[in-house]
Every structure is written in structure tokens, then in C-alpha cells.
Amino acid sequence: MEYKKYEYPSYNIYTVKTNHFKTVHMEILFRDEVCKEDMLTKTFLIDLMTDCSNKYHNRGEVVKKLEELYQASFYGVTNKFGYVSTCSFVLNFLNPSYVKDEKYLEEVISLPLEMILNPFIKAEEFDIKNFNIVKNRLHDEILGVNEDLNKVALKKALSNLGNTPSSYGILGTLEELEEITPKKLYLAYQKLINSKCDIFIAGNIDMDMVANLIFKYFKYPVISTKEFNLYVDNPVKKVKKIKEKSKFLETCLVNIYSLNNLDKKDKIINFYFYNYLLGGGLNSKLYQLLREKNSLCYGIKSMYLKYDNLLVIETSLKKADVNKAQKLINQALREMKNGNFSIDEVNNAKESFIFSLNLALDNLGGIMNNYVFNILDDLPLIDERIKLIKDIKKEDIMNVAKKIKPNISLVLEGEEKDEDN
């Protein structure tokens, strides 16, 4: 694999040349500081910009064009990493070597760039027909979150952190949706195209040619040298224990823990090991204690929210088992702190992480994701990370176990029935 950077005045193009794939993956990534009021607006904007443009007046026309371009796919993703919000426009397309048409590469590369620079705007407002379609869709998506027990519980638990970016949702609320107008989206568009932009592309193509094509079609005037702080600190103000009723059958338990003073290596490597041994794998402490030894639940997982400095443990179970589960979770945390895990378990975790990283190299999305965070957060590239993983010691994991503080515990009680379903 060959990594290369092309520097242009207003954006950089980062390329990965690899001959392992029949597809090519391209991402145009905008980033800005996270702002609670803007989250849903950005999601709306990105959906609308990938549904239509001045040239393609609705989603149907866009999809027909993508089909003509040998089933290319084009979509937008809004995301949040700590203090930074990102809007990505993603294009996947067939490697031009499989196509006879000489203009194919130029046509496919220019599609997303033209759509970004020429959205369907008239008189400083987005087209109302497409606006309403996306609005209706987002309305149902926001409502749809309430149909998923785990999403409801996690959202409620995170909202108890207070006014921190970690509690902001990408989808927002119905009230926020009602506030968005075609004019407001136009203003949001102006803000988007004035934010920092980078382009990433991976595949088996002539990257010099691709860079020239991008420069030809993407006359992006903004020069931003803005640097971003990604990591949000969520110190414990007061430990909260919350119990609420829900409409679901199962009960959901969510525990949030704050992570204090993790250093760079803790964030890149050590805490991932801690999380894996605690609740990441099928032999993890939580899985073994709650599911295998006590049959309390179908699944339990712990999640490391790196950019929020948080650890989340989540499971769904019977109402009557919550206290027992909580005790077992505390036992697992104690065992991690006391180093009650073997060198063999650490070695198995090493194998598992090396496997995951090698696997990422077999997938263009994985390669790209790693490269994006190498640029955004100075995350070491995969081969370097494998070396770091090999060097980890048991003490490194025990050390991060001391940096965990309970913050929020939420129980969402279900309406379980004993009757047959």
C-alpha cells in the first residue's frame, strides 16, 4: 500500500494505492466544532445534498445516474467525535479497468463534487419538494429511535451527562426538526462549505490522475488552518442512579463511567485492552459472569467511547435480575482493577486486536477509516499499531482500571409478562 498526500491551497487529498480491490472508495470530509443546535441541521443538509442537486432534481434521478455508472453508490454520513462534528460524502465505484468507456473515471469522480458545489438551491432556499421528503424521513427516523430499547436507554443515560457534546444526538428532536426551514438549510450549507475539508481516496487507480480530476472539478475556495481538539472530558459531578418505566418487555441497564487522565497510549491501546477483557469478547468477564455463569441475559457489552472519555456497559434482562446483574458488573470491575486476569487472556486479546487490524486491511472502508483518523487524531497507521499492541503488559491494563469512576446508572424497567409470546 502506498500512502500519498496532495496539497492544494484549500484542501488536501490523501490517497492509498492498493491493488487488492475491484472497487474504489472516496470520501469528501468536512469538519467543524460540534454545536448542539447544528447537529440535526447538518444531518438534514447532508441527506438533502445526496438526494438531489441542480443537475439531478430528485433521489430517483441520482440513483439512475449511479446505476449508469456501473452501480456506484453515493451517500452522506454525519458524525460526531468528541468536540468535532464531521460531514462525509462517500462514493464507491467500480475500478475503471473493468469499464470500456474512457470517460468513466472523470464522470464518476465529478459526480459528488458537482453535487456538493451545485446543490438544488433557488433564491437562497433549498428546493421545497426534496426538503419535505427528507423532513418526513427524518421525522420517522427520530420517532423510530423509540422503537429500539437499547437506543432509548443509551440516549436517556447519555442525556443525563448534562450539557456536554457527549450527550448530543446526531438525530436531535422533533421540535428541533420543526425549526428547520429551506432558508436555514441554505445558511447551514454556506457554513458547511466554509468549514475545513479534506478528500480521501483508496483503490487501484492512478492517483496523480485522480488528484488532477478532483482539482479540475472541485474549485473549493476556503482555506482553513483551523485545528480541532477532539477529546471531551466528562468529570463526575454527582453519581446518578435513575430508574424509569418503559413500554418494552425487557428491562435495560446502562452504566456510564468517566475516564480520568488517560494518556495518549491509554487512549490508543491500553483502554481498548481493558474494554475487551471487561466486556468486549465472548470470553470477557461480563459475558462470562452475567450470561454464561448466571444466565441473566442474552448479551452484555461494554463500549469505550474514546472521544468522550467514557465507558458504557449495557445489557437487557429481567426486571428481577437487575440488582444481581449490578453486583456482578461491580465484581467484574473489581477483578479488572485487582488484576484478576491471566497473561493468557492478555495474549488472546493481543491476537484478537491484531486480527481486527489485519481484517481492516482487507476492506477499503477499514483502510480509509484508519487513514482518516491518522490525519484527524494522529492515530498510528495499522502496522505501527500492531507493534504497539505486541508490547502491551498486564500492568498497563491494571493502570487504566484505576482511572474509571462511576457516573450514571440507568434502569429502564420493562413490562415483562410471563405469558407465552
Partner 1 sequence: MKTIKLKGLDEVIYYTISKDGMPIYIWENPYVRSFYLSLNVLYGSIDTEFKIKNKKYKVPDGIAHFMEHIKFNVKKDVTANDLFDPLGSEINAFTTFKYTSYLVYGTNKINDNLNALLDYVINPYFTNDIIKKEKGIIASEVNMGYDDVYNRLFFEFNKCIYHKEKYRNLITGTINDLKNIDLHNIELIYNTFYHPQNMFLVVSGNVNAYEIEKVVNDNLGKKEIKPYVNPDVIYPKEIKSVSKKESIIKSKVEVEKAKIGLKIPKKVFNMEDVKLNIILAVILNINFDDTSDLKKELLQKGLITYLNASRTIGNQYVIIDITLESKYIDEAIKQVIDKLNNLEVKDEDLKRKLNSSIANLVTNYDDVEDVNNLIQNYLINYHDIIPNVKEIYESIKMEDINDVLNNINTKEMTVVKMIKEA
Nearest to 412 by CA among 121, 105, 151: 151
Q: What is the rounded radius of gyration, in angstroms, for the C-alpha atoms of the chain?
A: 23
Give the whole-angstrom CA distance, residue 256 versus residue 236.
10
Who's near 234: CB < 8 A, 6+ residues apart?
Answer: 161, 164, 166, 258, 308, 309, 310, 407
The gap between the terminal CA atoms of the chain, to the nearest Å, is 53
Asked whether position 281 contacts partner 1 by CB under 8 A, the answer is yes
Contact 11, 113 (CB under 8 A): no
**Grid cell for residue 371:** 487513514
Pick between residue 222 and residue 320 the one whose CB is nearest to partner 1. 320
Is residue 136 involved in binding partner 1 (CB under 8 A)?
yes
CB nearer partner 1, residue 151 or residue 405? 151
Closest to partner 1 by CB, 41 vs 92, is: 92
CA 213 to chain centroid: 29
Cross-strand partners of 81: 84
Q: Closest CB to partner 1 among 84 and 201?
A: 201
Selected binder of partner 1 within 297, 312, 325, 368 (CB under 8 A): 297
Return the C-alpha cell found at 224.
Answer: 482553513
Judged by CB under 8 A, the residue of 352, 369, 374, 399 near partner 1 is 352
Amino acid found at 230: L
Told to check if 23 binds partner 1 by CB under 8 A, we report yes
User: Is residue 143 part of the contact set for partner 1 (CB under 8 A)?
Assistant: yes
**Which residues partner with 317 through β-bridges?**
251, 297
With cell 456510564, the residue in question is 256
The span of 209-217, 224-232, 294-302, 368-376 binding partner 1 (CB under 8 A) equals 294-302
Stretch binding partner 1 (CB under 8 A), from 31-39, 228-236, 290-298, 402-410:
290-298
If you search the block for the grid coordinates 454464561, which residue do you land on?
292
| DSSP labels, 12-40 | EEEEEE-SS-SEEEEEEEEEEE--GGGHH
Kindly state the greatest CA–CA separation across the chain. Answer: 67
Strand order in the sheet with 73-81: 2-7, 12-17, 196-203, 23-33, 84-94, 73-81
| Inter-residue contact 364 to 293 (CB < 8 Å) | no
Tell me how far, at minimum, the Cβ of 291 lies from partner 1, in Å.
Answer: 6
Segment contacting partner 1 by CB under 8 A, of 246-254, 258-266, 324-332, 367-375: 246-254
Which range of residues in 7-15, 37-45, 119-127, 140-148 is near partner 1 by CB under 8 A? 140-148
318 near partner 1, judged by CB under 8 A: yes
Q: Between 57 and 405, name the residue whose CB sits nearer to partner 1.
A: 57
Residue number, 54 or 348, with CB nearest to partner 1: 348
Q: Which of 144, 216, 243, 393 binds partner 1 (CB under 8 A)?
A: 144
Segment near partner 1 (CB under 8 A); pick from 5-13, 35-43, 221-229, 361-369: 361-369
Among 37, 98, 183, 393, binds partner 1 (CB under 8 A): 98
> Distance between CA 236 and CA 405 in Å, rounded?
7
Stretch that binds partner 1, among 64-72, 205-213, 228-236, 371-379 (CB under 8 A): 64-72
* Residue showing cell 464518476: 108
Burial-class residue 7 by CB neighbours within 10 Å (0-12, 13-18, 19+).
Answer: exposed
Considering beta carbons, is residue 198 or 413 the nearer one to partner 1?
413
Query: Which among 14-22, 79-87, 188-196, 305-313 is the span making contact with partner 1, rule CB under 8 A?
Result: 14-22
Between residues 146 and 340, which has the closer beta carbon with respect to partner 1?
A: 146
Residue 23 CB, shortest distance to partner 1, in Å, is 5
Q: Which is nearer to partner 1, 81 or 248 (CB)?
A: 248
Q: Is 248 in the site for partner 1 (CB under 8 A)?
A: yes
Q: Report, in Å, the least distance between residue 133 CB and partner 1.
A: 5
Closer to partner 1 by Cβ: residue 378 or 391: 391
